[in-house]
Amino acid sequence: MSTQYDLVVVGSGAAAAGVASRVREAGRSVAIVDFRPFGGTCALRGCDPKKVLVSGAEAVRAARRLACRGVGGAPSVDWADLISFKRTFTDPVPAQRARGFREAGIEAFEGRARFRGPHALSAAGIELAARNIVLAAGAEPVPLGIPGQDYAITHEQFLSLEVLPPRIVFIGGGYIAAEFSNIAALAGAQVTVLQRGERMLTGFDPDLVGWLMESFRSLGITVETGVTVAAIERAEPSRNARVRERMSHALRVRYSSGAHEASIDADLVVHAAGRRPALQALELEAGGVAVDGHGRLRLNQWLQSVSNPAVYAAGDAAQCGPPLTPVAGRDAGIVAANLIEGNRRAADYRAVPTVAFTMPPIAAVGLGETAAREASRSLRVHCRRASDWYTARRLAEPVYGFKLLVDEASRRILGAHLVGPAAEETINLFALAIRENLSTDALREALFAYPTAASDIASML
Ligand SMILES: Cc1cc2nc3c(=O)[nH]c(=O)nc-3n(C[C@H](O)[C@H](O)[C@H](O)COP(=O)(O)OP(=O)(O)OC[C@H]3O[C@@H](n4cnc5c(N)ncnc54)[C@H](O)[C@@H]3O)c2cc1C
């Protein structure tokens, strides 16, 4: 059976849904295909469920910080309850998305899409022929490539754990390891992070990450950096019957740090060591879709394949901007406009704010210090640990600080880096300032509600 469409979109996440709905609204015939429940990573396996877990963990941390400051009792995370609460967000999504597609007149197929020609895909035994194809297939974990890698679970399985095991090792030091290690530690697990790089969260400012690590330590998280993980093994059963019973699923992670070899036992190992565009299964060659030496799609500024003009890409699969939901949504708008009106809109990834929802959160937008020094001859760095400011003291939060990178000649902000209370919200104001080219005078003169973290901006400048 073969069906012809104006557009077939691979995926059903933020990027896919955004392209499909806009192109359908323009009167074109559209099909969407996903081999997993409809909804994509953010809604089902990423941002949204993660932040529900963060909310529970944050509440516990806030109560602990304010103990003896007016808050009594000893709250704790009830993991099973928290996961049930999370499900109230994720469970309805696939049916809601399916209904949304149906009501919009978008045909939705369940199956893994593979190219069968420059304008043709197959999925679930059906041939889908299309004038245009959009690859919005997202990203997938990069295989660890070590013996025993299958013993490690992914972020997705972590988000569905019915029981939180007592000892957890995270392999990796990026967003997922940082955020999930905080959740697990606040939920009562003994947590170790094994990170290959020199520090965690290498995409964020090193000074602010340094301050944040104090919080990791206070949560009892052990962070080992400069580590190469060699293997994951089943740990040998203990001679002690009671220990053996408790450790029936125990694992041992072997790693090296320089010349030093070590191992750590855990009940659970989580793979948090990076993701890559999910392109392997698409059999791109059959569609004449070129990739570069790193296996990434070769796209022009219109997010269109350089080798097959019928094919566009958006979101994590395109990886032209950072792998974040707002970028996937923006890509969707660009690709849809180019499909409907012809190639006119190019992507612009300036001033994309990013947040790691650690406790407290760390956030960044614009240039880092090294890039800002290269870009500006009159760079002024406003950097301060602000734990003594009201915003931090009110919450008994010891980690609060900022680094603002300002070009003195133009009085424009080149980069903003925040850690501490409300960083995840305040960063949006800096994103707006950079995007709209607001001067530091304009930001200083703006009246922000008081007392809010935004009202600290004038003092930061
Ligand atoms: C744990 C985690 C936490 C995150 N937290 C945040 C956050 O706080 N803020 C933020 O902005 N971003 C966050 N992200 C990133 C964000 O989730 C992604 O950037 C965003 O979901 C990408 O959307 P997308 O539409 O490109 O891809 P996805 O939402 O991943 O959708 C791709 C879909 O394509 C399907 N697919 C893949 N291959 C095929 C195929 N061959 N055939 C059919 N279907 C296929 C997949 O099943 C998937 O459903 C997080 C990611 C993770 C993993």
Beta bridge partners of 129: 4, 120
Residue with token string 């901006």: 457
**Region 380-393 average pLDDT:** 98
Q: Write the DSSP assignment of 336-374 as a string of letters.
A: HHHHHH-S------TT--EEE--SS-EEEEE--HHHHHH
- DSSP state, residue 210: H
Measure 403 CA to ligand 1 centroid, in angstroms: 30
Measure 415 CA to ligand 1 centroid, in angstroms: 27
> How large is the angle between the packed helices 14-25 and 325-341, nearest 10 degrees?
30
Ligand 1: does its nearest atom lie under 6 Å from the Cβ of 276? Answer: no
Query: How many of the other CB atoms lie within 10 Å of CB of 2?
Result: 10
- 245 pLDDT higher than 70: no
- 48 pLDDT higher than 90: yes
List, edge to edge, every strand of the sheet that includes 251-257.
228-234, 251-257, 260-266
Distance CA 90, CA 206 (A): 35
Ligand 1: does its nearest atom lie under 6 Å from the Cβ of 356? Answer: no
User: Which atom of ligand 1 has the smallest separation from the CA of 176?
Assistant: 1
Half-sphere exposure of 20 (CA within 13 A, CB side): 30
| Per-residue pLDDT tens digits for 143-159 | 999 999 999 999 999 99
Supply the pLDDT for residue 247: 47
Distance CA 5, CA 262 (A): 56
Supply the pLDDT for residue 242: 54
| Per-residue pLDDT tens digits for 317-327 | 999 999 999 99
List, edge to edge, every strand of the sheet that includes 401-407.
354-356, 362-366, 412-419, 401-407, 379-385
pLDDT classification of 70: cutoffs 50, 70, 90 = very high
Ligand 1: does its nearest atom lie under 6 Å from the Cβ of 122? Answer: no
Supply the pLDDT for residue 21: 98
Distance CA 287, CA 277 (A): 17
Distance CA 287, CA 291 (A): 12
Supply the pLDDT for residue 124: 87
- Say what percent of the chain tops pLDDT 90: 94
Supply the pLDDT for residue 357: 98
Query: How many of the other CB atoms lie within 10 Å of CB of 297?
Result: 25
Beta bridge partners of 270: 153, 170
**Region 62-74 average pLDDT:** 93
**Region 446-456 average pLDDT:** 96
Contact 15, 317 (CB under 8 A): yes
| Per-residue pLDDT tens digits for 95-150 | 999 999 999 999 999 999 999 999 999 998 999 999 999 999 999 999 999 999 99
Supply the pLDDT for residue 258: 85
| Per-residue pLDDT tens digits for 170-225 | 999 999 999 999 999 999 999 999 999 999 999 999 999 999 999 999 999 999 99
- 238 pLDDT higher than 80: no
Which of 325, 358, 362 for mutating ligand 1's site (highest number of atoms within 8 Å of CB)? 325
Cβ contacts of 174 within 8 Å, gap of 6 or more: 200, 201, 202, 203, 272, 273, 274
| Per-residue pLDDT tens digits for 247-279 | 456 999 999 998 899 999 999 999 999 999 999
Measure 376 CA to ligand 1 centroid, in angstroms: 36
Supply the pLDDT for residue 240: 56
Mean pLDDT of the chain: 95
Contact 379, 407 (CB under 8 A): yes
| Per-residue pLDDT tens digits for 291-347 | 999 999 999 999 999 999 999 999 999 999 999 999 999 999 999 999 999 999 999
Burial class (CB in 10 A: 0-12, 13-18, 19+), 110: middle
Residue with token string 């679970």: 153
Ligand 1: does its nearest atom lie under 6 Å from the Cβ of 315? Answer: yes
pLDDT classification of 460: cutoffs 50, 70, 90 = very high
Query: How many of the other CB atoms lie within 10 Å of CB of 295?
Result: 11
Ligand 1: does its nearest atom lie under 6 Å from the Cβ of 40? Answer: yes
User: Where on the phi/psi map is residue 386: left (φ > 0), alpha (ψ -120 to 50), or beta?
Assistant: alpha
pLDDT classification of 239: cutoffs 50, 70, 90 = low
Supply the pLDDT for residue 97: 98
Supply the pLDDT for residue 1: 57
